[in-house]
Amino acid sequence: MAKMVNYESIFVVNPQLEDEKIKEIIEKMKSLVESNAQLEKIEEWGKKKLAYEIAKQKEGYYVLMQFTAEPNFPAELERVYKITEGVIRYLIVKRDEKE
């Protein structure tokens, strides 16, 4: 088994979507992580102003996930972010072991 690595991912959902749709996207990402990694924390930060406009949006619905996974999982997560309609931005980073 490969070494498990700590990751953190933030993704931003289009806030124009209906609440149901936003919940659906969050649930989809959450179950993807849960079935492939160890989900430690998921926090919905809700609507926040974007640093700059993305696809004519001034706001985004932010969600933070912290998880431990094998090093090949983030690529799969990224692939799913890319093909999920409604996800306007995402970031996946390795977390420091010290946290």
pLDDT tens digits, 27-86 = 999 999 999 999 999 999 999 999 899 888 899 999 999 999 999 999 999 999 999 999
- pTM to 2 decimal places: 0.92
Minimal CA–CA distance to 96: which of 4, 3, 5?
5
Place of tokens 């998880």: 67
Phi then psi for residue 72, to 5 deg, are -90, -10
Rounded Cα distance between 72 and 84, Å, is 19
Residue with tokens 């749709």, as numbered in its chain: 21
CATH class held by domain 5-94: alpha beta
Would you list the domain boundaries of the chain? 5-94
